[in-house]
Structure 1
Amino acid sequence: MIKFNNVKKSFRRTEVLKGMNLDIKTGDRIALVGSNGAGKTTMIRCLLGEYTCEGEVRVNGLDPREERKLVLKEIGFVPQLPPPLKMPVGQLISFAASLCDADPLEMIKVAERLGLDFKQLKSRPFVKLSGGQKQKILISIALGRDAKILILDEPAANLDPEARHIFFQLLAEKKDEAVMLISSHRLDEVAALVNRVIEMDQGIVVLDDRVEDEVDLDSVLQSEIKIKRADEAFAKAIKAWNFESEDGIQWFGKIAGPDRLRFLGVLSRYAAILKDIHMEDQKK
């Protein structure tokens, strides 16, 4: 579906992509990882047809630079930094839907599944929304259409735990029929979402590995956490995950399966007071 063949890209005298080769097929859910300056963003921009480059980039046999309109119809893109758009949310969704011949009502449905009140937000300028609201709108535009390629740059960074769970469910609905390219600085943030890891360094692919695909994207873990003593900092941290407790010692809540590593990372900060952790998959 996607092919990079000896792709090179330079900015003035700095060579950012140095003969990159890569083949991506339908069903691949890829974690694109690497430090700042590794070439991840430049690779994505070439794929989107925003940059000219040496070598060959193809999306379903099409050149994304020369046939950009046709290629972009196949791509749903969630950027890391929301664009500073002043148009109202309703107008933005209508405009985005018109560009890819999509139904704006489907985008609105996704927004509402993510917890947004569209009627309340539709007249508000996009630039005036909170970070989480902007992220949800951008996800709605990308997933509320028949995109065969999803390019997601730190897509869940500004989402609350419940919205992250819904986001993972949305990805699960598309996992067998689309390519997912999820860019992140940290592998542990996206490890449970993917079945392939590609690491870039200094403009080339230094690792391309298949990973175990055991965690269902729409799985839910019923969780019980016990601590040795009540702790204010711990309570604040775990309440952010919508956990509840009657005594401050025993906490109950639900974790999206793909968020397992992220959640355990939070708990690790309080290892000294942890007494018991129990997680059970509730997916039927």
Structure 2
Amino acid sequence: MIKFNNVKKTFRRTEVLKGLHLEIKKGDRIALVGSNGAGKTTMIRCLLGEYVCEGEVLVNGLDPRVERELVLKDIGFVPQLPPPLKMPVGQLFNFSASLCNSDPQEMIKVSERLGLDFEELKSRPFVKLSGGQKQKILISIALGRDAKILILDEPAANLDPDARHIFFQLLAEKKDAVMLISSHRLDEVAALVNRVIEMDQGIIVLDDRVEDEIDLNSILKTEIKIKRVDEAFAKAINLWSFESADGIQWHGTVSGPDRLRFLGVLSRYAAILKDIHMEEKSGG
């Protein structure tokens, strides 16, 4: 579906992409990882036809620079940084849907599943929304359409745990879509993908298949006991909507794909952890 043949891109004499060769096939759900400056975003911009580059980029056999309108009709894109759009949210949904012959009502449904009140937001300029609201709107536009390819650049960066779980469910429903999910941390996206591509200084240094048996709809019922009341721990765990009556025993739920991220948070408090129990249940 997607091919990069010896793709190079230079900015001010600095070669950012250094002869990229890559083929992405139907069914691929790819984690594109690497540090800042590795070339991930530049690669995505070339794929979207936003940059002129050396070599060849093809999406379903089409050059995204030459046939950009046709290519973008099949792509749902969530950028890392929200654009400074002054358009009201309702108008933005209608405009976005018109570009790809989609139903704006589907975008509205996705936004409401993510916890937004569309009626409250529809007249507000996009640029005036909070970071989390902007992210949810952009996700709604990308997932509320019949996109064959999803390109997501740090898509869950501004989402709270509850919204992240809904986001994972939405991705699970896109079973036939090719996904390219960019992140600087593998643990953020590991459970979502079946292939990992790592970039460093403009080249691909790793391209490997991974197991993808985690249910994106799963929920982990979690109980934690700590040795003593700790204010910093309480603040961190409250961000995951955990509750406690005494500050010692905590309980809540964690989305299955978020388990590595959650355990990474707990690892910071290893000295005061006494017991952790996680039981997986269906989130359907």
Q: Check whether TM > 0.5.
A: yes
Once residues 159 and 42 of structure 1 are traced to their aligned partners in structure 2, the CA distance between those partners, rounded to angstroms, is: 24
**Matching residue of 1:196:** 195
User: Which amino acid in structure 2 is aligned with residue 114 of structure 1?
Assistant: L
Q: What number of residue pairs does the alignment pair up?
A: 283
Matched, 1:85 2:85: yes
**1:201-232 deviation per Cα after TM superposition (whole angstroms, max 9, x unaligned):** 12111110011112111111111111111212
Aligned ranges for residues 98-247 of structure 1 at < 5 Å? 98-174=98-174, 176-247=175-246
**Matching residue of 1:7:** 7
Once residues 28 and 244 of structure 1 are traced to their aligned partners in structure 2, the CA distance between those partners, rounded to angstroms, is: 38
**Matching residue of 2:264:** 265
TM-superposed deviation, 1:86: 0.8
User: Which amino acid in structure 2 is aligned with residue 12 of structure 1?
Assistant: R
Matched, 1:16 2:19: no
Matched, 1:48 2:51: no
Once residues 35 and 234 of structure 1 are traced to their aligned partners in structure 2, the CA distance between those partners, rounded to angstroms, is: 28
**1:119-162 deviation per Cα after TM superposition (whole angstroms, max 9, x unaligned):** 00001111110000000000000000000111101100100000
Once residues 216 and 18 of structure 1 are traced to their aligned partners in structure 2, the CA distance between those partners, rounded to angstroms, is: 36
Q: Which runs of 5+ in 1 are unaligned?
A: none
**1:87-116 deviation per Cα after TM superposition (whole angstroms, max 9, x unaligned):** 111111111111111100000000000000
User: Which amino acid in structure 1 is aligned with residue 189 of structure 2?
Assistant: V
Once residues 130 and 6 of structure 2 are traced to their aligned partners in structure 1, the CA distance between those partners, rounded to angstroms, is: 41
Once residues 160 and 37 of structure 1 are traced to their aligned partners in structure 2, the CA distance between those partners, rounded to angstroms, is: 26
Runs of 4 or more above 6 Å deviation = none
User: Which amino acid in structure 1 is aligned with residue 180 of structure 2?
Assistant: L
Larger deviation, residues 143-152 vs 6-15:
6-15
**Matching residue of 2:36:** 36
**1:39-80 deviation per Cα after TM superposition (whole angstroms, max 9, x unaligned):** 111110110011111111111111111000000001000001
RMSD of Structure 2 on Structure 1 (CA): 1.0
State the identity as a percent.
Answer: 86
TM-score, length of structure 1 as denominator length: 0.98
User: Which amino acid in structure 1 is aligned with residue 17 of structure 2?
Assistant: L
**1:147-179 deviation per Cα after TM superposition (whole angstroms, max 9, x unaligned):** 0111101100100000000000000011x3011
TM-superposed deviation, 1:194: 1.1
Once residues 250 and 278 of structure 1 are traced to their aligned partners in structure 2, the CA distance between those partners, rounded to angstroms, is: 11
Secondary structure at the aligned position of 1:272 is classed as helix
Q: Which runs of 5+ in 2 are unaligned?
A: none
Once residues 138 and 204 of structure 2 are traced to their aligned partners in structure 1, the CA distance between those partners, rounded to angstroms, is: 28
